[in-house]
Structure 1
Amino acid sequence: MLMHKTFRLGALAALLLSVAAFANAAQGWERIRSDAPERYVVVKGDTLWGIAARFLQNPWQWPSLWEANPQIRNPHLIYPGDTLVLRDCAGAPCFALETGQPVVKLSPRVRTIEPREAVLALPMDVVEVFLRQHRFLEAGRALGELGYVVGGENQRFISGAGDTLYVRGELPSGVPLGFYRPGEPYLSFSGEVLGQELVFIGEARLIDQQGEIARVEALSARQEVRNDDIVIALDDRVEGDFQPRAPQAEVAGHIIAAPGGVRFIGRLQVVAIDLGTQDGLQPGHVLRVDQQGELINDPRTSELFQLPNTEGGLLMVFKPYSRMSYALVMQASNVLAVGDEVRTPKP
């Protein structure tokens, strides 16, 4: 009798496990777009986000579909010419990679293989241009710590491209320099100062350094270079893993600025948000944008009430600071605005 009861319990457990496995597999296939191709050949100009968006309802879920492909150590390393194949792995969707062959050039003396550049996660040209022209000084770091213009040749107070200027402060050698001017402070949604934007004025190069006084040449200038403008190294570096993914923890914040004075925010524009590394954000983290529902009057009761929030788009963090991050708008179903909420996307 006990053996029979144990058998029934074991069969019930197996049934529940099979039902759970079926539910997980079904949920996995729900991630796939109805028009997703079975095979896709990667072409030059593709981005990892763009490829993921061809297959998935939610592109940030891309990493989870590589679990059945242990031979692929890093989804970054996808190259033009590679073929992605959507397969069924034990009832759940997964991707397989058929590696394309590099181009081989033959000649009587030399056999060379063309170098291949891996597909990037997002349009890095947009990000690099932004980072060269926008800098952020975190709260607690004084402007006085940075090099600054003290004058131009022949006692000029205003200089332009081709002019030589004097800078007080030690400057790095062998790297491009930039002129910047303090801009607007960045405030959290609650009004707390997070830091200050530095506005790009132009580019410079170091001529020589004698003690704490450096001589620089202005290579370009969007506007006149003035005394007290800041001189620091240009920074277009983007560090970190840009594999699109959701933050591990639930986070919530707001869009606090649209650098460059942009009023209407759309796809491939940059925003500043009041979340940073202290909130667990890393490069590649994806956040959804929630827009506040409209206030309307009930036609029967004349009661004023607010409609539910709606999802307006998706952001990818590319430059996190301690309490603030720059993020690129990857999708926008509506025009986004300063004040919109950002949070961990739904599974």
Structure 2
Amino acid sequence: MSCLRLGILALTAAVAGCSSNPFGNDDPPPTPVTRSSSTQSGSTSLDPGSANRNANGPVVTRIDRPSAIPLAEGHPDEYTVQEGDTLWDIAATFLRDPWYWPEVWYVNPQVENPHLIYPGDVLALVNIDGRDRITTVRGSSYRLSPQARITPLDESIESIPYEQIAAFLSKGIVLEKDEIDDLPYILSVRGDHMAAAAGNEVYVRGGRAAPNGTRYSLVHVGDELVDPDDGDVIGYHGVYIGEGALSRGGDPATIALNETNREAIAGDRLIPETVDIPLNFFPKAPDIPIDGRIISVVDGVSLIGQFQVIVMNRGARHGLAPGDVLSVYQAGDYVRDRFAGASLFGGEKVKLPDEEAGTVMVFKVYDRIGYGLIMEATDAIRVLDAVRNPY
């Protein structure tokens, strides 16, 4: 689970393409810190994503950050980080809008591993050069012990609740259109059966070289995911089947099925369970305009609530990146205006305004698809509701 913890070190992985041997076994010193009494804020000394994320695409308008970052009502001057806290929780403790965390976080060079936050750390609202900042003023035992330099990174706090993402990692799957051809697939079921279940073996082609024992999730390619903006098919629902492990390399290779929720058939795809989602990001507002829609919810419910994973029709090509926070807007209904004058059709049809219904944090992006976790839900959220910059 350490690869899903907050840290400054990047943890990356991807579902990659085919192999020729499928499944073969082989800044200047800071100004002294003083307590803050103002509500002003400036840019952070961290740079969580300054690169132009649309470098290969059209020129886009950047969004200016406000000069004043509103603090949370009743915010503390100091806060001791607790076991189970996430970075979102901590940001919401100090800030009215948690996505402005990068604007106020200050890396204290006098603290061991200053980019990480550990349970027991004391964070304080301070004033540096006339601007509000939040920094670590007293480190926990994780930092002060002689073994601090080799303390595992998985002791540091998470950006978002890991247990909510864990369910997504194992069973909530959406496949990008261009990704499917790169995934291993079931060629046939051993014993000339039409379908396989736990205890059976299947023959598989495609994929990368892997040692015996490598575990895979089995997925059936389900319904299309259509972009409501242009009608393009941008992905597919992945129906979770179960798990298996490589028992013999080669072309075809052999996979032994360990558990299944439904039958596996020829053409079903395999996803390595070693695929990780890096969560070493800060909650932040996108720096370019985003206007997309929710196109799916991972567990298939009709009403979406807090800590559910959604799929959006916005991704890397649109400038979206992990850590970006978006507001969710409930699509306004259409009503007949019966009072604007007589009409044979019952009055003019008027669209009501979209209403803000929650907040979502992006944690993984592909080219045209983004995954997000609903952090707050103040009203009912549904598929086709809008996701936009949180302003």
TM superposition score normalised by structure 2: 0.73
What root-mean-square deviation, in Å, do the aligned CA atoms of Structure 1 and Structure 2 show? 3.1
Query: For the structure 1 residues 278 and 207, does the alpha-carbon distance in structure 2 shift closer, same or farther, using more than 3 Å as the test?
Result: same
Alignment partner of 1:311 is 2:356: yes
Displacement after TM superposition at 1:81 (Å): 0.4
* CA 171–50 in structure 1, closer or farther in 2 if over 3 Å, else same: same
Matched with 1:201 is: 241
| Stretch deviating more after TM superposition (276-285 or 129-138) | 129-138
Distance 1:72 1:315, change over 3 A: farther
The 10-residue stretch of structure 1 (188-197 or 161-170) with the greater mean CA deviation from structure 2? 161-170
Q: Which runs of 5+ in 1 are unaligned?
A: 1-21
Q: Give distance in 2, aligned partners of 1:283 and 1:324.
A: 12
Shift of 1:279: 1.0
Instruction: Name the structure 2 match of 1:157.
Output: 194
Q: Residue deviations 1:197-248, cap 9 Å, x none?
A: 32221111111123x2111110111112223222231254113642111111
User: What SS does the corresponding residue of 1:202 show, helix, strand or coil?
Assistant: strand
Out of 154, 165, 185, which is 1:148 matched to? Answer: 185
Query: Residues 111 and 139 of structure 2 are in contact (CA less than 8 Å); yes or no, is this contact kept in structure 1?
Result: no
Q: Which residue of 1 aligns with 2:100?
A: 61
Q: Identify the residue that residue 180 of structure 1 maps to in structure 2.
A: 219
Percent identity of the aligned residues? 33
Q: Tell me which amino acid in the other structure corresponds to 2:368.
A: R
Give the deviation of 1:296 after TM superposition. 4.7
Residue equivalent to 1:9: none
Structure 1 273/36 Cα, relative in aligned 2: closer, same or farther at 3 Å? same
Structure 1 stretch 293-302 or stretch 91-100: which is displaced more? 293-302
Question: Does the Cα contact within 8 Å between 1:68 and 1:94 map onto a contact in 2?
Answer: no
Instruction: Sort the Cα spacing of 1:181 and 1:76 in 2 relative to 1 into closer, same or farther, 3 A.
Output: farther
- Whose strand fraction is larger, Structure 1's or Structure 2's? 1
Alignment of 1:1-347 (within 5 A): 31-67=70-106, 77-102=116-141, 115=151, 117-141=155-179, 143=181, 145-170=182-207, 172-174=209-211, 175-190=214-229, 191-210=231-250, 212-239=251-278, 241-296=280-335, 301=340, 305-346=350-391
Using a 3 Å threshold, how does the CA distance of structure 1 residues 38 and 229 change in structure 2: closer, same or farther? same
Structure 2: segments with no counterpart, 5+ residues: 1-37, 43-65, 341-346
AA matched with 2:172: H
Letter in 2 for 1:132: S
How far apart, CA to CA, are the structure 1 residues paired with 2:41 and 2:206?
61
Aligned equivalents of 2:77, 2:158: Cα separation in 1: 22
Cα distance between partner residues in 2 of 1:152 and 1:185: 26
1:25 to 1:151, Cα distance in 2 relative to 1, 3 A: closer
Higher RCO (CA < 8 A, seq sep 6+): 2
Report deviation, 1:126. 1.7
1:75-109: CA deviation from partner (whole Å, max 9, x where unpaired): 750000001112344554221312333269x9xxx
Structure 1 counterpart of 2:53: none
Computing the radius of gyration from Cα coordinates, the structure with the larger value is 1
User: TM-score, length-normalised on structure 1?
Assistant: 0.81
Give the structure with the higher percent helix: 1
Moved more, 41-50 or 219-228: 219-228
Q: Give the superposition deviation at 1:337.
A: 0.7
Measure, in 1, the Cα distance between the counterparts of 2:142 and 2:107: 29
